[in-house]
Chains A and B, each alone.
Chain A
Amino acid sequence: MNRIFWSIVGKELIGFIRSWQLVLVVLYMFSVEVYIAGSGIEINPRNVAVGYVDGTAGGLSQKILTHLHGPEFLAPRRFNSQRELSRAIFDKEIIVGLVFDADFEKKWRQNKSAQLDILMDATAASQAYTTLNYLQHIVLDISKVNIPVDIVTHKLFNQNADNHTFMALTELLSIITMLSIILTAVVFVREKEQGTWDLMLLMPVNPKVIILAKSFSQIIVVMTGIVISLGFVVLGIFNVPVNGSLSAFLLLSFFFVFAGSGIGLFIAAVARDVMQVAQLSIVVMMPLIFLSGAWTPIYAMHPALQYLSYISPLRYYIEGSESIFYRGTEWIDLWPYFMGVISVGGVMYWIGFRKIGRLF
């Protein structure tokens, strides 16, 4: 049995390595794709173009404007009239426009309520609102309101509140989900396409061994990809903190990849060719990723969706991975995540295994 198992694993790995297009795609996913997600997706304001119309002599207004500097803002551009400024916002040259009326400084000096008008391009909603937040802080600072409260923040787990590390890690986890599903499905469906399916069935070998060995070979491929991605991109480029144990993460990943390959088995049983595998995987994968908390925190979802998210193994995997990387949770306290991934993943693998087993 052992020899058969390893022969099949070996054959699938040889097949994987020889199809260089597939190797390239997998390497691309685990490196460039993770890098792009980590460096490209930006939630904080960056390079926001600011324009202003200044009707005052330019004391206080300039003081406020000096607070708008890089890397969040580009140097503010002066416009002669509000019409010109509106025009620039309309043409997408400016995202945020400040309008200082002629009596702005005068009113402020007289301690009357001075009004600062802000025009915003709200199509870039999150950037615009965070910018607004910045501006309120700046104005509050300058106003010297005497509230006897000082805010001192301690940012836990991610001291620089850097969302690159978070995005890179989330993307890695999504890619693991995708590849574990697709690669597993493809090793079976390729046999259907090449006409070797019957040959495989004709081997005097227990079908369970064939299914296990074939899915195991792809788990090896994905695990290798995880190690490469961790080493070069997640830890190498983005410097994601590792406060917990890396081996705990790898073990959790291993169980999770099993869950993914279970879905892959199910798809392989249904699909006739690689094209169908691609279509079905997308249909299955999207809800899995949306329900996992990868894009939105689970507590912010609709209550019904929150319940649904319990059946996404990715949910436990993402929470577990965050705990390991950021919170540095101890092995013993990771059990809920392991339990979640193993139980939901186990059920999924079992269903897939049964489904494809019927074809043998």
Chain B
Amino acid sequence: MGMLKIDQVSVTHNKRRAIKDASFSANEGEIIGFIGADGAGKSSLMHAIAGVIRFEGKISFQNTIYHSPSEAQILKSKIGLMPQGIGLVLYDLLTVGEHLDFFANIRDIRQDDRFNEYKNRLLRMAGLDKFIDRRAGNLSGGMMQKLSLICTLLHRPKLLILDEPTTGVDPLSRIELWKILDQIRCEEGTIALVSTAYMQEAAQMDRVLLFDEGEIIAQGCAKELIKSVQDMTYVRKPFTTPHSMSTLDTTYSLEPLEAEHAEPTLEALFFVNALQKNRILPSVEITPRDGDTSFSSVVMEAQGLTKTFGDFVANDRVDIRLCRGEILGLLGSNGAGKTTFIKMLLGLLPIDDGELNLLGKRIETAKDRQELKSSIGYVSQHFALYNDMTVRENLHYFASMHQIPMDIAIKRIARYSEELGFDGYMDAIPTELPLGINQRFSLAAALLHEPVILFLDEPTSGVDAIARAQFWQLLVALKEKWKIAILITTHYMSEAEFCDRIVLMRDGCKVADDTIPNLYTAHPNAKTFEEIFLEYYR
């Protein structure tokens, strides 16, 4: 009873295989984790199982077999799907209570005492019972996700499909989300399929499926999976052999190395898989920049930066100092004020109060802002670039905008494309490229004018583990060779450890600003950075 069996399921989007021959099964009350990069096929498989897109193959759930969305129709009352994206299923103008009524009505649930009791319990679990009259548009990201989850749970589904429910959500809400999920699956015997970008979350699940390029490359209990790659994981070795790959702290090798073994995480599986398929990325080499690197040691200093939108204080007297040759990680959940702060630093939003100094000079007039812009390199979220121009045309366009002389521009573009490893894609349109390539090409566009500050807004979200590791090596190389200051936002806590210094924001205020070792000494009970982060949210 209640068994879910996926048999050789394939999904094709516009002649492109999104997922090929996926097979797995799940038992009552199990939580199955889906991990892998964007475009690896997780969402496609989830939508196929939910019976909302066409697929090939066979799925059976509670002894009902279906091959197409129309055959799955009779199961819809037992399935709950929560698509990717915060608050995507919510209506901004409806209140929390109205949402619950609305979802109960479209699901045609009899609203008797039993239902009301269940509903109130869900509300209490989500901590939303005090906010019944608040509009969804005014909830925080974490509350929105909790509301989406309880709306999906209202009809007591036996199969719950959650597509990245925790991405971008603050750690406390994330823990609460998991608590709700855990309780529901114990009580109702619900099968939950959950995709996540956080390896720590995946490690907690009953079973994990690893996705890579439209295939499930491994599945099983997280502990066993990690154990299987234990022998190939070492503490970082500075040199490389042909069958090895390194991140900033670990080296993976198929051949035995004379080094100490390190404790692998689930990510190690992706590296080992790539090594086995002989997909080895070239190591990173960065040549020194054309301009000099002897600028002042404090590159940018913000003092008491404040931004208000009406009554709402988005940034409350934030001080941040950026030093030469430093990687500063800016952490905080959605709505903590990161974006507002960044926009003020970039000169995109006027500063309401406080002062901003760049290379020792105060930024006040519009002309100062223009100067600010020419010394900042910016990689936006999702690597937004011009999608109707090729990589080469994009880079030339940026060079012209920064008034870099043509001959220098051509030389630089050639050099960057080689060093950042996208020279094979110069005449392709950005949308045709893998995300990892786009990421490096966006970085090249941001570096063309040799800025003194590089600003990166979640540059690694959705990018696969290997490309992410390589990107971090690039950043470290840039920091060392170019001495530029790098300000980066990320929601991967494991990446925070690669930063020299961390600034933590919460509700528009800075709550921590220190180096990693200092933070660990200040929080002796914390074993991982995630736990430190959590302590600031308690």
Interface residues of A (CB under 8 A from B): 3-4, 7, 11, 14-15, 18-19, 194-196, 198-199, 201-206
When chains A and B are docked, how far (Å) is the Cα of A37 from the Cα of B34?
Answer: 58
Nearest A-chain residue to B376, judged by Cβ: A202
Q: Is B387 an interface residue (CB 8 A)?
A: yes
Q: Is the CB of A205 within 8 A of B401?
A: yes
Residues of B within 8 A of A4 (CB): 400-401, 403
What are 27 A-B residue pairs whose CB atoms fall within 8 Å in the complex? A3-B403, A7-B397, A7-B401, A11-B393, A15-B386, A15-B388, A15-B389, A18-B388, A18-B389, A19-B388, A194-B384, A195-B380, A195-B381, A196-B385, A196-B386, A198-B346, A198-B348, A199-B378, A199-B380, A199-B384, A201-B348, A202-B346, A202-B347, A202-B378, A203-B402, A204-B402, A205-B401
Nearest A-chain residue to B370, judged by Cβ: A204
When chains A and B are docked, how far (Å) is the Cα of A199 from the Cα of B347?
Answer: 12
State which size class the interface on B falls in.
20 to 34
Contact of B401 among A14, A19, A195, A204 (CB under 8 A): A204
User: Nearest Cβ in chain B — how far from A204, in angstroms?
Assistant: 4
User: Nearest Cβ in chain A — how far from B24, in angstroms?
Assistant: 35
Nearest B-chain residue to A18, judged by Cβ: B388
Contact of A14 among B373, B376, B378, B393 (CB under 8 A): B393
Nearest B-chain residue to A15, judged by Cβ: B388
Residues of A within 8 A of B388 (CB): 14-15, 18-19
> Given known contacts A7-B401, A11-B386, what 12 new A-B pairs fall within 8 Å (CB)?
A4-B401, A7-B397, A195-B380, A195-B382, A196-B380, A198-B343, A198-B378, A199-B378, A199-B385, A202-B347, A202-B376, A204-B374
Q: Is B514 an interface residue (CB 8 A)?
A: no
Nearest B-chain residue to A210, judged by Cβ: B401
Contact of A198 among B380, B386, B389, B401 (CB under 8 A): B380
Q: Which of A7, A18, A204 gathers the greatest number of chain B CB atoms within 10 Å?
A: A204
Nearest A-chain residue to B396, judged by Cβ: A7
When chains A and B are docked, how far (Å) is the Cα of A1 from the Cα of B145?
Answer: 48
Nearest A-chain residue to B394, judged by Cβ: A11
User: Nearest Cβ in chain B — how far from A22, in angstroms?
Assistant: 10
Q: Is the CB of A204 within 8 A of B400?
A: no
Within 8 A of A (CB), among B389-413: 389, 393, 397, 400-403
User: Nearest Cβ in chain B — how far from A104, in angstroms?
Assistant: 71
Q: Is the CB of B348 within 8 A of A202?
A: yes
User: Nearest Cβ in chain A — how far from B184, in angstroms?
Assistant: 36
When chains A and B are docked, how far (Å) is the Cα of A194 from the Cα of B371?
Answer: 26
Nearest B-chain residue to A14, judged by Cβ: B389
When chains A and B are docked, how far (Å) is the Cα of A301 from the Cα of B105?
Answer: 54
Residues of A within 8 A of B386 (CB): 11, 15, 194, 196
Nearest A-chain residue to B397, judged by Cβ: A11
Residues of A within 8 A of B346 (CB): 198, 202
Could you mark each residue 466-510 of chain B with 1 if its beta carbon is under 8 Å from any beta carbon of chain A, else 0? 000000000000000000000000000000000000000000000
When chains A and B are docked, how far (Å) is the Cα of A205 from the Cα of B382?
Answer: 24
Residues of B within 8 A of A199 (CB): 378, 380, 384-385
User: Nearest Cβ in chain B — how far from A61, in angstroms?
Assistant: 68
User: Nearest Cβ in chain B — how far from A207, in angstroms?
Assistant: 9
Residues of A within 8 A of B343 (CB): 198
When chains A and B are docked, how far (Å) is the Cα of A18 from the Cα of B393?
Answer: 13
Nearest B-chain residue to A5, judged by Cβ: B400
Whether A194 contacts B401 in the complex (CB less than 8 A), given A202-B346, A202-B348, comes out as no
